[in-house]
Amino acid sequence: MKKKILTIITLGLLLVTLASAGFVLHSPHVMAIDSSAGETVNTGAEYSNATIGSPIDGLAIWYVWINTNYTQVIYLAFVSHRYPPPVITFFGQHYMAGNDTEVFVGNTLTAMEVYNDTNRNGVPDVNLSNGTSELLYNFAVNSSQSFVITPVQKTLIGNESHYTWGLRYNTIDGFLLTENQNAGAKVILDYLASSYDFYVQDNASYLKTNFEIGKILNVTSTSDLNVTLDGLSLSLLYGTSVIASKTYTTVVNGEPYNSTTAQNPTEPTQSGEIRIEDTKAYECIFGQNYTLSRDSGNVTWPSQSAAVSDQTVPGGIYKSVESTLSFFEDVLSGLFPKIGNLPATINLDYNVSSFLYRVCYPQWDGYALEHDPTYIAYLTPIAVPEISPPVMFVIGAAIIGSVTLIVALLDIRKTRRILPNQSGSQVAGPFRAPTFFCSSSYGI
């Protein structure tokens, strides 16, 4: 309850901050979404999607559920027909690994960040202990003029079942906020879109994603500074959550890694993985190319990635929406004990996640880009060489998604039970920057 009260207070303070800066928040033009009290996630279906209630009047959660090949997938995103909703999504996967080990792994996007890559190493270097940082702004997405939901559907390709779904948000207003939450500029983003293709092949599951960020259409400075995106880069900060019935270890560049204790603020890497005892449970593969759509034509560049210490995550805007994820925690904690023996408590605070990482686009300048990463989940874990002593014995946690500036989200109501709306029609409504899933056998 304290966490939910903090959610409303924090969002209210954020609105006051923006109002004092001269911003006017506009509600998106969306189609009403029905989410009657008493509906529940339809876990009995092979796949389903619907909206479910939240404790805040006018705010709902859209979910996608997949239950196939002894693994379950859940995707959550905030939607609203009354207010600009928080642009936050979460992707999680539950499965049985080898040696009768039960696992739940999740992933969510913490923030979109604008940085100045002064040393040209491709990633934002941040060392808050000595006050140095290449991060310039948190790119806070506010609301969209419209959105389109692509309902989950199943198609057969050969003998493989593919489950696909997606979200697209059009004409989005947002803000470039400094670390102390001062607004440096108001921006209009053309669109944000993400689509997903989940399937199981042999003893591995795959999540292929297509992530598109539209062009920045307008930048209006709100201070004496002339804010420009020329020469600047874009970073997406992610975190993972892991619950396992046996000890697990996060591994980066072949060595144990823990974002909560890492001494090196930034660890460039091409992959990250979770190992349970001596086996690989899942792997995030980084380093794919992305396409930048400049006015002169499309150009392909290599993306960059790095595991990062939680000490590289500035306070303020990042922490201010942490409590908003408590609504997702309610859904997850009520759902997974019904299908497994894992603890009901799922903590999505980013500062207890063992694996925070940034996916970076060094060449950006505010232009549209498209990125297609694939995350592989090993349903039958692969044996790996023994490494040094395990780092983690506790639950790692995913993190918050990027903050949205929303109109007064009113009084908190007692959490309503989650509900199924089997409607498969497209819906106009809001967006959340995509969730890339470091899968297992997690994902966005």
- Each residue's pLDDT tens digit, 90-103: 899 888 877 678 88
Stretches where the chain sits below pLDDT 70 are 1-39, 85, 99, 180-181, 315-323, 338-339, 344, 380-444
Helix boundaries (H) for 237-347: 317-320, 326-335
In this structure, what token pair is assigned to residue 320?
Answer: 């201010």
Compute the 3-state secondary structure of the chain and give helix, strand, coil in percent, each to the nearest 5.
Answer: 10, 45, 40
Quick one: tokens of 366?
A: 């505010």
62 within 8 A of 149, measured Cβ to Cβ? yes
The per-residue pLDDT for 393 is 27
Query: Which pLDDT does position 240 carry in this prediction?
Result: 87
Please give the pLDDT value at position 216.
Answer: 96
Q: Is 278 exposed, middle or buried (0-12, 13-18, 19+ CB in 10 A)?
A: middle
Q: How far is residue 241 from each of residues 105, 322, 377, 428, measured CA to CA in Å?
A: 6, 14, 15, 30
Phi then psi dihedrals of residue 308, to 5 deg: -135, 150
Predicted confidence at residue 29, as pLDDT, reads 31
Tokens standing for 429?
């409504």
pLDDT at 79: 82
* pLDDT at 342 (0 to 100): 75
Q: Cα dihedral angle (137, 397, 435, 9), rounded to 10 degrees? A: -50
- Cα–Cα nearest to 243, from 73, 402, 397: 397
* 3-state SS, one letter per residue, for 68-105: ECCEEEEEEEEEECCCCCCCCEEEEEEEEEHHHEEEEE
- So what's the pLDDT on residue 32? 32
pLDDT at 316: 60
Residue 338 DSSP SS3: helix
In one-letter notation, the amino acid at residue 333 is: S
Provide the pLDDT for residue 182. Answer: 73
Please say whether the beta carbons of 66 and 46 come within 8 A.
yes
Please state the φ and ψ torsions of residue 375, each to the nearest 5 degrees.
Answer: -115, 130
Instruction: Read off the pTM.
Output: 0.78
Asked if 320 contacts 333 with a C-beta cutoff of 8 angstroms, the reply is: no
Please state the domain extents for the chain.
2-383
Q: What pLDDT sits at residue 241?
A: 87
Distance CA(425)–CA(419), nearest Å, equals 17
pLDDT value for 418: 35
